[in-house]
Amino acid sequence: MYKIGIDIGGMSVKVGLVDGDGKIILKNRRKTAKTPDKVIENMVCQVEELLSEKILSVKDISGIGIGCPGAVTGKTGMVDFLPNLGWKNIPLVQKLKEKLDTEIIISNDANVAALGEAVYGCAKNYNTSIMFTLGTGVGGGIIIDRKLYEGGHSKGAELGHVTLILDGEECTCGRRGCVEAYVSATALIRQTRSAMLENKEPAMWDYVGGDIAWVDGKTAFECAKKGDETAIKVQNQYIKYLAESIMNMLNIFRPDAVIIGGGISAQGKYLTDLVKDYCDKFDYGYKGSPKCDILTASLGNDAGIIGAAALLE
Amino acid sequence: MYKIGIDIGGMSVKVGLVDGDGKIILKNRRKTAKTPDKVIENMVCQVEELLSEKILSVKDISGIGIGCPGAVTGKTGMVDFLPNLGWKNIPLVQKLKEKLDTEIIISNDANVAALGEAVYGCAKNYNTSIMFTLGTGVGGGIIIDRKLYEGGHSKGAELGHVTLILDGEECTCGRRGCVEAYVSATALIRQTRSAMLENKEPAMWDYVGGDIAWVDGKTAFECAKKGDETAIKVQNQYIKYLAESIMNMLNIFRPDAVIIGGGISAQGKYLTDLVKDYCDKFDYGYKGSPKCDILTASLGNDAGIIGAAALLE
């Protein structure tokens, strides 16, 4: 049966009609409106557009799944807080249901990304998987025995906010030394820039055309691949941060797979091989530990829509 | 219905007959024998002794629960590795079942401690709870929606082996900087001794009769209560380690309660108030976070037996 997946973002709201295999049949997007009411009004239009284009009504879909960039309460359908949109305590599901009479489920975007991979993507053959989404921040998603685990009150799975270095770098959450402060793309860029300023070897400077403002999450990796020593140092230190963050979750969840998503996951097997080598060397149970595959996300740009639709599975 | 709880320890094996409310009706203990076969033979005798004293047979109990100090696989009933006893790959459940024909469930001792508190102890009114057992090492136990969560292959919930300070103190697991290396009683004793050697103020030295060998997990707390500055510093730093370790689990699980067990939990409300104050100040969601109570374990010396029996619930 078809379902609708909605990906609410700071820039745009994407809506897709998704089939039973997680394939997007049709999709549309609108710029994120300024008020919650206007966003909701737009969402209703966007859904109705997709349905009418396929000559379907809301009764022909199994429901609507929504991924939100912030804190929500799945049970009540309440959006508690979306920092980038300035939403606070919006009864999103209730308001949408007044217009679209079908099952509507919301979750956090990082949770939804993990669920999408587990249901339709690279983790579909694994029972238990953990996803790290490495972007501006670090999102976490936990799938236990094929079910999304959000933590109590839908407020857990904040895997970016686990300490890596007590009293370390400031984190957006108010604490210091969190995984997010070392493993996000933002952190990698900071680490790359800092190494470039300390060591003026030309490779990374050339890569960014002499302008440090152009450093991104690829700079260190691409230059390391070419053998630049400073870049290799940045890369290896970053891999250590990431692999240690992953190993912490191995010791808690012993998942069958860990998925790396977000921009940095574009490094693919190059990245996962480095992480795997580190984990194999330092894993708690050594050779006695259950096997865990390290993968990169497979659903690409539409992961938000597909993952949201997976909430209906 | 009665059940049997068995607590396998490095020194002794304790067996108890437990009623439906988690009360021990009868119990016995034997020194831990040298070989697994002899331990199993003794366990059978210990169970039969208890049953016969109450004129019961194995058919009159709902089963046997066993807590083991090491790695087990619940599904197969296999003891994979008990480091203190030198056991490797012992099919404990299968061997016991040949002699005692009833349901037999095994788990790790830290898991069993958490389950005991959740079913019969201080956490029985909470759906989701996390337990830290602070002893020689740090054990972890996770209860989600009233069920024991052991992690994949029964090998997770190793909450002592999550990084607190990357590249920090050596940990028994082979990594560096784990929670266990800062929050165990062993670590607190090390921290206390180190502060005493650096700062020869008399309070803690007097408390241990001038002999540093007598420092234990109480030394810093008891002297801090009397106002000794060095002791207060040790205590506050330890509370920071512990509270940060707890906050990491709040961000992952958002439990309703965190339980502190092991020797250090004898500090009771004094300890939990300090931890709570720290967490309230630095918690990720600030006032928006779901409430979590910090408790100390309630089941005392028989927690191992009672927790093991809870495996049958």
pLDDT of residue B287: 55
Question: B101 lies in a domain?
Answer: yes
Look at residue B128 in the predicted model and tell me its pLDDT: 97
Number of domains in chain B: 2
Q: Does A243 touch chain B (CB under 8 A)?
A: no
- Is B260 contained in some domain? yes
Q: Are residues A155 and A262 in the same domain?
A: yes
Model confidence over A283-298: pLDDT tens digits? 765 456 788 999 999 9
The answer to whether the CB of A17 falls within 8 A of the CB of A4 is yes
Residues A135 and A219 in one domain: yes
- Contacting residues of B for A80, CB less than 8 Å apart: 288
Kind of pairing between the strands at A293-296 and A257-261: parallel
Asked if B252 lies within 8 A of A162 by C-beta distance, the reply is yes
Which residues in chain A touch residue B127, judged by CB atoms under 8 angstroms apart?
Answer: 152
Percent of all residues in chain B with a pLDDT value above 70, rounded to a whole number: 98
Task: Tell whether A144 and A175 lie within a shared domain.
Answer: yes
**Chain centre distance of CA A260:** 8
Q: What is the residue whose two structure tokens read 């992690």?
A: B151
State whether residue A286 sits within 8 Å of chain B by CB: yes
Element (H, E) at A87: strand A87-90
CA distance B279 to chain A (A): 11
Which residues of B fall within a CB distance of 8 Å from A81?
288
Question: Does residue A301 sit at the B interface (CB-CB below 8 Å)?
Answer: no
Task: Identify the segments of chain A with pLDDT beneath 70.
Answer: 284-288
pLDDT in tens, B5-29: 999 999 999 999 999 999 999 999 9
Cβ-based contacts of A284 with chain B (< 8 Å)? 158, 161, 173-175
The verdict on A36 and A161 lying in the same domain is: no
Looking at the fold, whether B131 and B272 belong to one and the same domain comes out as yes
Across chain A, mean pLDDT equals: 95
Residue of A nearest to B285 (CA): A173
Quick one: closest CA in B to A140, which residue?
B252
- B249 → chain A, closest CA residue: A162
Residue type (1 letter), A65: G
The CATH number for A145's domain is: 3.30.420.40
| Chain A: closest CA distance from residue B166 (Å) | 5
Q: Give me the phi and psi of A182, to 5 degrees please.
A: -125, -25
pLDDT grade, residue B302 (50/70/90)?
Answer: very high
A309: Cβ–Cβ under 8 A, 6 or more apart, which residues? A3, A4, A5, A16, A18, A22, A65, A116
A113 with A137, same domain: the answer is no
A273 and A136 co-located in one domain? yes
CA distance B23 to chain A (A): 30
Domain assignment of residue A37, given as a range: 2-118+302-310
pLDDT tens by residue, B62-119: 999 999 999 999 999 999 999 889 999 999 999 999 999 999 999 999 999 999 999 9
A30 lies within 8 A of chain B by CB: no
Q: Residue B26: inside a domain, yes or no?
A: yes
Q: Are A207 and A89 within one domain?
A: no
pTM (2 decimals)?
0.95
Whether B115 is in a domain gets the answer no
For residues A139 and A248, membership in a common domain is answered with yes
In angstroms, rounded to a whole number, what is the distance separating the alpha carbons of residues B165 and A132? Answer: 20
| Predicted pLDDT at B84 | 87
- The pLDDT value recorded for residue B280 is 87
- pLDDT for res B284: 61
Q: B285 and B139, same structural domain?
A: yes
Same domain, B129 and B103: no
pLDDT score at A146: 96
Q: Is residue B202 part of a domain?
A: yes
Distance from the A205 Cα atom to the nearest Cα atom in chain B, whole angstroms: 29
Q: Are residues B30 and B139 in the same domain?
A: no
